[in-house]
Amino acid sequence: MDTLSRFKPVALEHASRLINHGPTILVTSSDGTRHNVMAAAWSMPVEFTPPRIAVVIDKKTFTRELIHASGTFGISVPGAAAMDLAFAVGSVSGRDADKFTQFGIDSVKGPVLGVPVLETGIAAWMECKLIPEKHTEDAYDTCFCEVVSAAADPRIFSGGHWVFDDSNRDLHTIHHLGAGNFALASDAVKARMLAG
């Protein structure tokens, strides 16, 4: 793992904005000796202060095993440049092979928890502490966490807001449509206030 690069810290009060538009995410986990990365399509903010989010992670996955062993995980928000990687890591199990080695994935250590997070082809990342909720984890495969640090590539997320334009298309977030098909968060438009 390398040290942090061009990413700039995101204020925790804006952390929920990193996923509130429903992008595909990459969940990274480590128990200190083993690590893994998987794709997840279902995540959402559930509280702003402190920032808390919910992520659906099947109870049978290697990722869940590592998260329960450490109580922590990372969330990386891939851009279009990492679409093939997201599909690849979401299609194989980390129990069968080390995905970081198999797919040549570089990671950095998050500054608070030291969890692996990704930056190559990535728009943003978050370090998360698991909030144990046995019933929802077992019944619905839903894991709750508190975001303790966040950062983003300032070319696409700055001042607490996403900026999608032609200059940063490789970082436009991806949204899984099924069977390896994705849509990009492109053509963002600003609403105008209606007179009332």
Residues 6+ apart with CB under 8 A from 125: 7, 74, 75, 76, 77, 110, 117, 118, 119, 150, 151, 152
- Give the pLDDT band of residue 196 (cuts 50, 70, 90): confident
- Please tell me the predicted confidence (pLDDT) of residue 63: 97
Residue 4 in this model has a pLDDT that exceeds 60: no
Token pair 């092979």: residue = 97
Residue 3 in this model has a pLDDT that exceeds 70: no
Residue 61 in this model has a pLDDT that exceeds 90: yes
Residue pLDDT, tens place only, 99-119: 999 999 999 999 999 999 999
Residue pLDDT, tens place only, 30-46: 999 999 999 999 999 99
Average pLDDT (122-146) is 97
Contact 29, 68 (CB under 8 A): no
Average pLDDT (84-89) is 97
Contact 27, 42 (CB under 8 A): no
Write down all domains in the chain, each with its CATH number in brackets. Answer: 8-184 (2.30.110.10)
For 86, how many CA atoms within 13 A lie in the half-sphere containing its CB?
A: 33
Tokens for 67?
Answer: 């998260």
Residue 189 in this model has a pLDDT that exceeds 50: yes
